[in-house]
Amino acid sequence: MKKPKIPEEHVLFRKIWEHRNSVQHLEREYLDLRILLRDAEADLRPDPENQELKERVAYLKSRLKDLESRYPWISTGRPSEIPFCVNYTE
Q: How open is the CA angle 40-72-90, to the nearest 5 degrees?
A: 160
Name the residue ranges covered by the structural domains of the chain: 24-72
Please compute, for residue 44, the number of CA atoms within 13 A of its CA located in the half-sphere on the CB side: 17
pLDDT band at residue 73 using 50, 70 and 90 as cut-offs:
confident
Best CA proximity match to 72, nearest among 40, 8, 26: 26
How does pLDDT run across 3-44, given as a tens digit for each residue? 666 667 777 777 777 767 777 888 899 999 999 999 999 999
